[in-house]
Each structure stands twice: as structure tokens, then as C-alpha cells.
Amino acid sequence: MKYFVLFGPPGAGKGTQAGAMVERYNLCHLSTGELLRAEISAGTPLGLEAKSLIEAGNLVPDSVVEGMIESKFRETKGVDGFLLDGFPRTIAQAQSLDGMLAKTSETVSGCISIMIPDSLIHERIAHRALIEGRADDAKDEIVSNRIQTYHSKTEPLIDYYRKAGKYFEIDGTGSIEEVRQRLFDAMDKL
């Protein structure tokens, strides 16, 4: 089984590219946001816990998200691997993922990072706000905060996966097709 972490700043094109990656490599796409919504909708114990936390205005703790991911690993059949999108976002989460996979003698196959400059992040997110009507993408201060959070909390994962020999950086500038081909070239080697 292959386990890929899809990584990059907001607006890098992770969502745009994930579908093609899933199709080409027969992967199950695990987006933490989608997982939370599905678990809540299904009324599972983890979903009920997440719902009560969210309704109280609290963040869903790592343990709940990790439980959902581990459940998906166990119950998903007929795929050659998983594409993790939105998890891990911190070193602690990456270590938890390593622990989950170690239970079945598996490891992360690679961390594929789509990188773009901060100026392009602003441009792409502003465009996405217009097209998708996303209020969270329309305010510069919110976008700037998301970029800063990415740099301070998530970027340290680059060194974590680089030290493990599992970090592969992709230039996220250019057309969707150009970026997709770079992704495929990197993943074909894994």
C-alpha cells in the first residue's frame, strides 16, 4: 500500500490536482475536512464527538482526526494507496501518522509538495474567492493569516520528510497541465 502526503500552501493547487492523482494511481483521497463532514453526517462516535466540539466553538483535537484517518485506512478496499490532504499539518501529526502506519509495518511513501510564492498565493486565492464565492478567501487579513500559519506551523514538515528521504517538491507555477505532469513525473518514481 502506498501512502502519499499532499502538501503545499493555500492556493497551491492541491484540490485541483488531487482528482487526477487519485485516478491515475488508484488512490483513496483523504481530505480531513471531508472526513469530518462525512463522520458527522454518518453519526459515528468520532463524528458525534467532532460535532459537539465544533458546535461548542472548539477545534477538533488531533486524536479525533487521527481516529477518522485510521478507520479509513482499515475499511477502504480496492485501492493501491491513499492521498492524504490536510493531514499531517504539524510534526506531532506526522509522528502520529508514522505510528499508525507502523502498526501494519508500513510507512509514508512520499510527501509531494506543490510550492508557489506567497504573491501567487494571494492572487490564486483572490481568484478562487470570485469563482467559488468563498468568503474566507475574500479578506486579505484572513489570507495573510493562513499563509503565516502555513509558514510557521506546517512548513516545518518539509525538514521532517526531507530528513526521512521522502520529500519531493514540485514547482506549482504554470498551467494546471504543466504542474500535473511534474506531479506525475515525481510520483512515477515512487
What are the CA-CA distances from residue 8 to residues 4, 5, 44, 46 (Å)?
13, 10, 30, 27
Q: Are 183 and 17 in contact (CB under 8 A)?
A: yes
**Catalytically annotated residue among 51, 72, 146, 162:** 146
Position 113: which residue type? S
Tell me if residue 103 is catalytic. no
Tell me if residue 24 is catalytic. no
Point out which residues pair with 84 in neighbouring strands. Answer: 5, 30
Quote the cell numbers at residue 14: 492541491
Quote the cell numbers at residue 5: 502526503
**Catalytically annotated residue among 124, 128, 180, 182:** 128
Tell me if residue 128 is catalytic. yes
**Catalytically annotated residue among 24, 37, 134, 153:** 134
Q: Locate cell 486565492: which residue?
A: 125
**Catalytically annotated residue among 14, 124, 166, 182:** 14
Tell me if residue 74 is catalytic. no
Tell me if residue 134 is catalytic. yes
- SS3 of residue 90 by DSSP: coil
CB atoms within 10 A of CB 34: 12
* Residues annotated as part of the active site: 14, 89, 128, 134, 146
